[in-house]
Structure 1
């Protein structure tokens, strides 16, 4: 790992971040204690989480499905008239990627390049192109290849009007190898929330694939949490502006706001689950 990329991994943890880590760990212990009391209720909560996770993650990327439509489609397999077919395809793919994630955790599989490519392949199954902007700012259809590292540069137009370029294709493999090595090297040395948040950011920073990078980064984050006995975090669409702002600060070398944001979102997810587990039936 070069000195230039090292700054995107190693940060001095502030006191408030340590407190959030401690609170998340405490709430995680409480959930593990409560969920064994009622298996049937826990199964309902797990299904609700899958719907929430799919709805919010896809909405951040532009899906038009409502939470209710997402639930209806996942539960019944039926589409809703007037909504783009791709939104339903994205929902189906996301659920299958979550199922694959739980399979990885159950089988105690290590995180490697193959796993991340497979997650991307699942997220983009049946998707042959993505909509992009050309140099004139016009929307064009860009062919994509799922499960393979990008061969063309990608970028995003930021809210301040500037263009942010992701890692050049020729450097992707090296930087992905650095990311995976770092994740596996730090798994018993740093708090899982720190590893999960930093890994999430770096997969977004690299933007290794033609599409599905944001959804894939959130799945990688939760894969790390689940492998360490934690609950998955749902980044909510109504927090999108805060989420993107924290990512932008991380691009400038300050990952603390992003780690703080992810930790807070996990705590909120925990509190919602605990409320479901303890509310009167």
Structure 2
């Protein structure tokens, strides 16, 4: 069970407690300024969706710039010279964010089935995904959107080591345990950012699908934050190296750095919204 799994042991870190307290303070500052006049909050929500979509896809290799992502999501028009798949990924991710917001509004229970639905949405229209042969050469494999993986998946780490994810035959059990653990933490009153961060890490550790696992993990993480009244923690592409290094430390059982990284990412999102509110006269 998860309780005996080291990847579910919550760290006791003084720095993390201070960072979480600042997240809570900033969220209260934002909440106290609402409701806002006019459509300002809708504009802020759209900006967050664009930032989240750009950065999450850029982490996975999308070549769209922030302005190209904004133009496409607002106008529905592509830009010459960019791969069609990058626009497909942007559309799919944007629709996935909309689904999260509808899920929260409808108070829909979180489940493994919901994550299959998210994966199917992320990979909508994607026939093949990038892969590597055993000797490290690039290839393509057929995408099975919304279905757990049927073959093992691996990744070559920056250190040159091959990292193996959870075996296909263990995925269903591990995913069930993850969502049981999430429910337990919500009942126990664990800070939502801790639950969200651990959910992200363990989703990536399991790597349940052929593709879309990173984007799915970040969507799951932010769903858990948003349903508890927080803004999404947008992980910026410029921090990709730190992000990967924190996940690698988590693989060694050190999850405090990743929790702190996500807390700092949330703080950056919160501070950006506070700045927008103050610039628009909401001091």
Shorter-chain-normalised TM-score: which range? Answer: over 0.9
Q: Distance in 2 between matches of 1:98 and 1:269?
A: 16
Contact persistence 1:192–1:224 (CA under 8 A): yes
Alignment-derived partner of residue 277 in structure 1: 277
CA distances 1:130-170 after superposition (whole Å, capped 9, x unpaired): 11110121111111200010001111111111111110001
Alignment-derived partner of residue 216 in structure 2: 216
CA distances 1:3-25 after superposition (whole Å, capped 9, x unpaired): 76x11011232111111111101
Number of residues of Structure 1 aligned to a counterpart in Structure 2: 280
What TM-score, normalized by structure 2, do the two folds share? 0.97
Contact persistence 1:35–1:277 (CA under 8 A): no
Q: CA offset at residue 222 of structure 1?
A: 0.6
Alignment-derived partner of residue 33 in structure 1: 32
Matched, 1:48 2:47: yes
Q: Distance in 1 between matches of 2:38 and 2:234?
A: 22
Counterpart secondary structure, 1:142: strand
Contact persistence 1:93–1:122 (CA under 8 A): yes
Alignment-derived partner of residue 182 in structure 1: 181
Alignment-derived partner of residue 159 in structure 2: 160
Q: Which runs of 5+ in 1 are unaligned?
A: none
Alignment-derived partner of residue 242 in structure 1: 242
Q: Structure 2 vs 1, CA of residues 255 and 39 (structure 1 numbering), >3 Å: closer, same or farther? A: farther
Q: Distance in 2 between matches of 1:260 and 1:137?
A: 33
Contact persistence 2:2–2:177 (CA under 8 A): no
Q: Distance in 1 between matches of 2:147 and 2:123?
A: 11
Q: CA offset at residue 2 of structure 1?
A: 5.8
Contact persistence 1:156–1:163 (CA under 8 A): yes
Q: CA offset at residue 39 of structure 1?
A: 4.1
CA distances 1:31-50 after superposition (whole Å, capped 9, x unpaired): 11123133411111111111
Alignment-derived partner of residue 92 in structure 1: 91
Contact persistence 2:3–2:9 (CA under 8 A): no
Q: Structure 2 vs 1, CA of residues 197 and 3 (structure 1 numbering), >3 Å: closer, same or farther? A: closer
Contact persistence 1:133–1:140 (CA under 8 A): yes
Q: Distance in 1 between matches of 2:41 and 2:240?
A: 28
Q: Structure 2 vs 1, CA of residues 2 and 42 (structure 1 numbering), >3 Å: closer, same or farther? A: closer
Q: Distance in 1 between matches of 2:280 and 2:75?
A: 28
CA-based RMSD of the aligned residues comes to 1.1
Counterpart secondary structure, 1:187: helix
Matched, 1:142 2:141: yes
Q: CA offset at residue 280 of structure 1?
A: 4.5
Counterpart secondary structure, 1:164: strand
Q: Distance in 1 between matches of 2:154 and 2:38?
A: 45
Q: CA offset at residue 188 of structure 1?
A: 3.3
Alignment-derived partner of residue 263 in structure 2: 263
Q: CA offset at residue 242 of structure 1?
A: 0.2
Q: Distance in 2 between matches of 1:252 and 1:39?
A: 49
With 29-38 and 75-84 compared, the bigger mean Cα shift is at 29-38
CA distances 1:187-246 after superposition (whole Å, capped 9, x unpaired): 132000000000000001100001000000000001101111111110000000000000
